Structure 1
Amino acid sequence: MIDVRRMQVLRAVITSGSVTAAAAHLGYTPSAISQQITALEKEAGIALLERVGRGVRPTEAGLLLTRYTAVISERLAEAETALADLRAGREGRLTVRYFASVGPTLLAPALARVRREHPAVAIDPRLADPDDAVAEVYEGDADLALVVRPPAEAPRRGLQVVHLLDDPYRAVLPAGHPLAAKRVLDLTDLAGEPWVLSEPPGPCLAPVTDACAAAGFSPDFASTSQDYATAQGFVAAGLGVTLVPRLGLSARHPGVAVRRLRHPEPPRAIHAVVRSGSLERPVLRTLLDAFREAAGAGRRMPGAEGRVARRTRSGS
């Protein structure tokens, strides 16, 4: 295989007209330049230079190789510029996989910040099953996956897990429910109520059932829904109560009351899964910072529980 660096040395010799001039230009000794040319001729299997007086001139093969050297050097310069832009976050592609309830309140503002700070980076956010999303990160088909339960084998698979926030669950009641008069509910207040199952078994349901077990009861799931919007509709219709994480309440049903919980307040922990080493990318660091910023902004927003409580006290 022909060495590209030796091709560049050959080009310097041909353009300068002598080994000595090329050595002075490149900062090498004439002996080192001659050794590089000799090695290149062995790789090419043909003479590349011939002596003319005190200088040298290219053979036909030397001219041919020099033309390709010019093209290769131009492409290498372009590649170096592209790599510099990628390292600095000035170009590239960012692929993100997420689950539905983090889309409006966490992902959307975070991606807006990335677009402002890295406008040349193409962003590809897609809704995906968390297990599939982690597999895509592992395979290199995605840069980041948002998950609730990080994979236990992440370090072994060359993945890194970054904790972003704890998303607390809220009690969701029919607006006219007697418990809606309270600003904060003990989890045991809901022990005797029929429950609406708001999501399928898995990492988001486990914090709810674990918290109920810690409070000394098992919820009586009388109705089943596997998305938060439908679950709120079931609650508004009087089919039961449910728990929904705060980020899952970005679209509030007008017929429900939302209340904070205590003793205990179950949270779900939201993580980002990335490939180890990829956090060196500025655009990925910006995205993680933006997630934390969006999470903090969400915590500072006035909750629907406060607005409903004021309407209850005023009788409206």
Structure 2
Amino acid sequence: MMDVRRLQVLRAVVHSGSVTAAARALDYTPSAVSQQIAALEKEAGTALLERVGRGVRPTAAGVLLSEHAELVARQLDLAETALADLLAGRTGRLAVHYFATAGAFLVAPAVAHVRREHPGVRVELKLADDAQNLAAVRDGHADAVLVVGEEQCAGVRVTPLLDDPYTVVLHPDHPAARLDTVDLASLADEPWVGSEWPGPCLDAQLAAFTNAGFRPHFVVDSEDYVTAQGFVAAGLGVALIPRLGLGGARDDIAVRPLAAPSSARRICVGVRENTELTPALRTFVEALGRAAAPRRER
């Protein structure tokens, strides 16, 4: 493979018509230019220049390589410009995996901010039921992933955003609906409506029940917050739903906070570890923190 720098030296000699003029243009010594040309001729296996009076002119091989050196120079200029745009956040790609309830309140405002600050960056969003799989970041399939819990993954840095507290969802006629806060342990004998898919969200919910000292009896497994609210409204049981999962709560249910505020699921963001964040990714992570801040203060 021919040395790109030597090709550019040949290009300078061909353009200027002499080794001395090329040396001045390149800020080299004439001897250094001659050495570079000699090394390139050895790589090419043929003469590239021939003497004409006090100057030189290219052989057919020299003309050919000089023309390709022009193309290489243009491509290098394009590469440098593209790299500068990428490093400055003017272009590029940002791939984000997230789970549904993080979308509206955290991801949406953060993505909107990225698009304002970095309009040339293509944002790719993927709603992933398996968003807790930090391997998507580790393996380069995503730049950031929203997760529940602080599970560790080699090569991924996990940063907490907020603790999303659980609420009790009740039929309006339920006695606990008259309370300002509800002790979760007091509902141990109630029929429960399930609202979680198996995975970290369900694990966090079951941990809340365990901390309250009981294991719930689920009479319905809806695996969906909206559907769970419908079953509660129909009087089939009570449900435990994180605050972000309530969305626009129905009018025919009662929502009460737990007396123990420690019952919450932790929402985090995972990014690659030991890698400098691109401007767009840095903007996204910072915007996530700002979107989470008002909800941390509630």
TM-score, L = length of structure 2: 0.93
Deviations 1:290-311 (A, max 9, x none): 111111234567xxxxxxxxxx
Question: What is the Cα deviation at residue 264 of structure 1?
Answer: 5.3
**Structure 1 residue 242 and structure 2 residue 235: aligned?**
no
**Structure 1 stretch 168-177 or stretch 270-279: which is displaced more?**
270-279
Matching residue of 2:35? 35
Matching residue of 2:265? 268
Matching residue of 2:203? 206
Matching residue of 1:187? 184
The equivalent position to 2:175 in structure 1, one of 178, 187, 192, is 178
Matching residue of 2:6? 6
Question: What is the Cα deviation at residue 149 of structure 1?
Answer: 3.6
Question: What is the Cα deviation at residue 258 of structure 1?
Answer: 1.5
Contact 1:133 1:142 in 2 (8 A): no
Q: Within 5 A, what are the aligned runs for 1:24-173?
A: 24-130=24-130, 133-152=133-152, 154-155=153-154, 158-173=155-170
**3-state SS in 2 of match to 1:14:** helix
C-alpha distance in 2 between matches for 1:205 and 1:62: 70
C-alpha distance in 2 between matches for 1:236 and 1:219: 19
C-alpha distance in 1 between matches for 2:50 and 2:145: 60
Contact 2:131 2:145 in 1 (8 A): no
**Structure 1 stretch 128-137 or stretch 205-214: which is displaced more?**
128-137
Question: What is the Cα deviation at residue 208 of structure 1?
Answer: 2.3
C-alpha distance in 2 between matches for 1:208 and 1:142: 27
Q: Which amino acid aligns with 1:14?
A: V
Matching residue of 2:194? 197
Any gaps of 5 or more consecutive residues in structure 2? none
Question: What is the Cα deviation at residue 278 of structure 1?
Answer: 4.3
Q: Which amino acid aligns with 1:98?
A: Y
Going from structure 1 to structure 2, the CA distance change for 1:151 and 1:62 (only over 3 Å counts) comes to farther
Aligned alpha-carbon RMSD (Å): 1.8
Report the count of equivalent residues: 298
C-alpha distance in 2 between matches for 1:190 and 1:39: 85
Identity level (%): 56
Q: Which amino acid aligns with 1:206?
A: D
Question: What is the Cα deviation at residue 85 of structure 1?
Answer: 0.8
Matching residue of 2:252? 255
C-alpha distance in 2 between matches for 1:98 and 1:271: 10
Question: What is the Cα deviation at residue 103 of structure 1?
Answer: 1.2
Question: What is the Cα deviation at residue 27 of structure 1?
Answer: 1.3
Matching residue of 1:231? 228
Contact 1:215 1:263 in 2 (8 A): no
C-alpha distance in 2 between matches for 1:230 and 1:20: 82
Going from structure 1 to structure 2, the CA distance change for 1:165 and 1:299 (only over 3 Å counts) comes to closer
